[in-house]
Amino acid sequence: MRYVSTRDPSHAVSLSAAIARGLAPDGGLYVPEQFPTIDPATFGPDASLPHVAALLLAPFFAGDALEPELGAICRESLSFPVPLKDLREGTAVLELFHGPTAAFKDVGARFLAACLSRIAAEDERALTILVATSGDTGGAVAAAFHGRPGVEVAVLYPAGMVSARQEKQLTAWGGNVRAFAVRGDFDACQRLVKAAMAHPELRARRRMSSANSINVGRLLPQVAYYAWASLEYRRRHGADPGFIVPSGNLGNAAAASWSRRVGMPVREVVLATNANLAITRFLSGQPWSPQPTVSTLATAMDVGSASNMERLLHLFGGEEGTRSALRAFLVDDNEIRRVIREGPGTWGEVWDPHTATAVAVRERLETRDWIVVSTAHPAKFESVVEPLIGREIPIPPDLAHLLDRPSHATPIEPDLDTFIAALEAP
Ligand SMILES: *Cc1c(COP(=O)(O)O)cnc(C)c1O
């Protein structure tokens, strides 16, 4: 399988090259040259997630240097529980937050780390992973690479603009993970990463890669959990489920759509957004156009310009095709609050603000057989959730462990020379 740029089908590379590069040289995103068709009967009735992932992803790894490692990569990275819980007649929830940093980004980050460290082994120079984060991604990437030999991680985050628990997940690792508190916003962090990766002398000294969310190595394992959950739902209930996906940068939505494309029993993909309206505006008939970002309670979905829209437009053959394939619903902060407040009574669940957008959409839909995709543990957003439900949320053990560790971050100005000096300081 070769991977092409969404902007230029004649630029084709191997999977390993697509993962090592992240972004195509023309600024496009890598997508498979063509999608395989996979018969759901391929999977046994009780197949585990790592087993489904290894079978499903085999055609995506075919012919690549990583192909013989695929089984090991799946077992190593998909090693935490991903339960599909039936809530009530016609509704289930897929809990993606049982990994080390309690959000679904652990899945993609761990799979990417497992791939990159195997690609890294073939080069003498140490690998530096640069990651700019607005909160969740940096922690997941740090956790995934912490303690791996031959890899160094630099996390850049906007000082004072992440939650206290998120900051712990960025700064409490030590060892091969270093955190830089940038005096600027998320865009400033992203600019520093791009500039560092393009800096000729730095590139001569270090092999660098970026673990941002447009890397195809983060998307592929997400395709696998949609496959596993749709097969499991059909096995239990004899019906094909639709997925309701809390969406920001649209990576999770692209993965769900790819799963449907390869033949998995995914009836429909519905997007839940917060008050950032670029996606709903587009699907209701306006041309695709990024909008200024607004701040909401579901911070990880505060995206005005979703990068993975490019993959959806590519998959569905343009704007009209995308509109006929997908529906999206906007959920504002008032509704997020209401759903969290009523969660224990209505569903017997404590929802985080991101999952709450999907639950709000479920409550609006009258048909049945829906899987709500739960992207984060509510304890990560306790300052929002606890006042609404009137009690404390128990902290998952991995998060509790990290909260007890000392933090360390290097404060820097948003300036390339300053960053390079700090990165290279002994
Ligand atoms: C990143 C994130 C999202 C948005 O996912 P996309 O793939 O960017 O659409 C939703 N919920 C949580 C908790 C996240 O961290």
Instruction: Give the atom of ligand 1 at the shortest distance from the alpha carbon of 251.
Output: 7
Whole-number Å distance between alpha carbons of 326 and 316? 10
The token pair at 165 is 């628990």
Taking only the tens place, the pLDDT of each residue in 311-364 is 999 999 999 999 999 999 999 999 999 999 999 999 999 999 999 999 999 999
The reported pLDDT for the residue numbered 122 is 66
Q: Please count the residues of the chain.
A: 426
What is the best residue among 29, 270, 301 to mutate for testing ligand 1's pocket, by most ligand atoms within 8 Å of CB?
301
Whole-number Å distance between alpha carbons of 221 and 355? 20
Partners of 208 in the beta sheet? 128
Considering only CA atoms, which of 308, 304, 213 is closest in space to residue 269?
Answer: 308
The token pair at 318 is 């343009």
Nearest-CA residue for ligand 1 atom 2 is 300
Q: The tokens 């404590």 sit on which residue?
A: 350
Residue 246 Cβ contacting ligand 1 at under 6 Å: yes
Residue 136 Cβ contacting ligand 1 at under 6 Å: yes
**Cβ neighbours around 246 below 10 Å, total:** 30
**66 touches 48 (CB < 8 A):** no
Taking only the tens place, the pLDDT of each residue in 143-168 is 999 998 888 999 999 898 888 888 99
Residue 218 Cβ contacting ligand 1 at under 6 Å: no
The token pair at 358 is 């999907």
Instruction: Give the atom of ligand 1 at the shortest distance from the alpha carbon of 249.
Output: 8
Structural domain boundaries in the chain: 81-104+217-395
Considering only CA atoms, which of 173, 171, 198, 177 is closest in space to residue 128?
Answer: 177
Specify whether domain 81-104+217-395 bears CATH 3.40.50.1100: yes
**207 touches 127 (CB < 8 A):** yes
> Mind spelling out the 3-state secondary structure of 63-98?
CCCCHHHHHHHHHHHCCCCCCEEEEECCEEEEECCC
Whole-number Å distance between alpha carbons of 416 and 32? 34
Residue 140 Cβ contacting ligand 1 at under 6 Å: no
Whole-number Å distance between alpha carbons of 111 and 77? 5
Nearest-CA residue for ligand 1 atom 14 is 300
30 C-alpha to ligand 1 centroid (Å): 20
- The residues, any chain, with a CB within 8 Å of residue 75's CB and separated by 6 or more, are 50, 54
390 C-alpha to ligand 1 centroid (Å): 26
Residue 250 Cβ contacting ligand 1 at under 6 Å: yes
104 C-alpha to ligand 1 centroid (Å): 8
Whole-number Å distance between alpha carbons of 213 and 196? 18
Considering only CA atoms, which of 96, 89, 80 is closest in space to residue 229?
Answer: 96
The token pair at 343 is 């969660």
Strands 207-210 and 327-330, bridge-based pairing: unpaired
Q: What is the mean pLDDT of each run of 10 residues along the chain (426 residues)?
A: 94 94 86 96 91 97 97 96 96 97 95 89 79 88 92 92 89 95 87 87 87 88 98 97 96 98 98 97 95 89 89 97 98 98 98 98 97 96 96 93 92 96 90
List phi, psi (to 5°) of 153. Answer: -115, 135
Strands 91-95 and 84-88, bridge-based pairing: antiparallel
The reported pLDDT for the residue numbered 24 is 87
Q: Break the chain down into helix, strand, coil percent, rounded to 5.
A: 45, 15, 35
The reported pLDDT for the residue numbered 406 is 94
83 C-alpha to ligand 1 centroid (Å): 18
Instruction: Give the atom of ligand 1 at the shortest distance from the alpha carbon of 247.
Output: 9
Nearest-CA residue for ligand 1 atom 8 is 249
Question: Which burial class, exposed, middle or buried, applies to 156 when counting CB atoms under 10 A from its CB (0-12, 13-18, 19+)?
Answer: buried
Considering only CA atoms, which of 82, 78, 69, 40 is closest in space to residue 259?
Answer: 40
In the DSSP assignment, the letter for residue 103 is: B
- The three-state secondary structure class of 102 is coil
Element (H, E) at 208: strand 207-210
Residue 252 Cβ contacting ligand 1 at under 6 Å: yes
pTM of the model: 0.94
